[in-house]
Amino acid sequence: MAGRVEDKVAIVTGAASGIGRGCAELLAREGARVVLTDVNEEQGREAAKAIGGDAVFVRHDVSDEASWRSVIDATLARFGRLDVLVNNAGIIIVADVESTTVEQWRKIMAVNAEGVFLGCKHAIPAIRKSGGGSIINLSSAAGLIGTPLFAAYSASKGAVRILTKTVAAHCREKGDGIRCNSIHPGGIDTPMVAQITRSRNANIADIEELAAPGRAVGYGQPADIAYLVLYLASDESRFMTGAELAIDGGLTAV
């Protein structure tokens, strides 16, 4: 029985761990040929090896335009096409608007917002030549509501939300069959969250309360996000573009 994304070629950024790795594993299991990218070369190669099959790893700094060109070129050289881009790579800094430095702000924006812009910009021509496909941008629940202790992160994810709609409108006008949607995870049990808890000598529940005071709803798993990515990557979502989809345990519903 064919998988839900059989023979599609997908790039997943930030795929060495967490949500990105979960997405890469599920896409591969459902028949996709996956290019995993990350700045963490050791973990990225281990992830690709664990997935096996046609999965490959390419070291990739999403904030660098030349690195994006190299990833797209490497994907086309190996597989001859590109059908799906999952813009997942991201970083976070715990700081409110008064304590965030300009350097921190720029670093967050370079990876989380500019990295997604560059991915969309360079993937669109490749996906167009392949006959259309799907761009999936990982934003955040923090891109839908204010999060006092994640000022730069929240702003960067809000930028991803609006960029997604802009890309969707652009591709619709071009009539090239490319869809673009954003996913807005709430708290997900990932190495990035674990890093925050260690840095603040706190537990996950404490961080959840810091992120959204009075809105504690619990934490999800990378697979919760990966299954939505699979749907958006597949032809099942052919009529969905420009959507913002929250998977946050109801965090943004109250």
Angle between helices 41-51 and 18-29 (to 10 degrees): 20
Question: In the prediction, which pLDDT does 202 show?
Answer: 56
**Confidence grade of residue 191 (pLDDT, cut at 50, 70, 90):** confident
Determine the average pLDDT of the residues in 3-14: 98
Q: Quick check: 190 and 222 in contact, CB under 8 A?
A: yes
Q: Is the pLDDT of residue 47 over 70?
A: yes
**pLDDT at residue 55, rounded to an integer:** 99
Q: Would strands 56-59 and 33-38 be described as parallel, antiparallel, or unpaired?
A: parallel
Range of weakest confidence among 33-42, 149-158, 195-204:
195-204
The predicted structure's pLDDT at residue 118: 99
Where residue 254 falls among pLDDT bands split at 50, 70, 90?
confident
Query: Residue 121's pLDDT is what?
Result: 99
- Residue 187 confidence class, pLDDT cut points 50, 70, 90: confident
Q: Pick the catalytic residue: 153, 219, 227, 231?
A: 153
Task: Examine the residue annotation and report whether 231 is marked as an active-site residue of this protein.
Answer: no
Residue 228 burial by CB count (10 A; 0-12/13-18/19+): exposed, middle or buried?
middle
Q: 45-53: long-range contacts (C-beta < 8 A, 24 or more apart)?
A: 46/16, 47/15, 47/16, 47/17, 47/21, 48/24, 50/25, 51/24, 51/25, 52/28, 53/28
- From residue 246, alpha-carbon distances to 61, 221, 228 in Å are 27, 14, 10
Model pLDDT for residues 145-181, shown as the tens digit of each residue: 999 989 999 999 999 999 999 999 999 999 999 999 9
Q: For all residues of the chain together, what is the average pLDDT?
A: 93
- Per-residue model confidence as pLDDT tens digits over 203-232: 555 555 555 555 556 778 999 999 999 999
How far apart, in whole angstroms, are the C-alpha atoms of residue 228 and residue 23? 9
- The pLDDT value given to residue 96: 95
What pLDDT score was predicted for residue 209?
A: 58
DSSP string, 106-145: HHHIIIIIIHHHHHHHHHHHHHHHTT-EEEEEE--GGGTS
**Of the candidates 140, 228, 137, which has an alpha carbon nearest to the alpha carbon of residue 187?**
140
Half-sphere exposure of 134 toward its Cβ, with a 13 Å CA cutoff?
A: 28
Half-sphere exposure (Cβ direction) of 54: Cα atoms closer than 13 Å? 18
pLDDT of residue 136: 99
| 69-84 confidence digits (pLDDT tens) | 999 999 999 999 999 9
Residue 37 has phi, psi (to 5 degrees) of -130, 150
Return the pLDDT at 51: 98
Of the listed ranges 19-33, 89-103, 199-213, the one predicted with least confidence:
199-213
Higher pLDDT, 188 or 97: 97
pTM of the entire structure? 0.92
pLDDT of 196 reads 66
Domains, the chain, in order of start with CATH, read 9-189+221-247 (3.40.50.720)
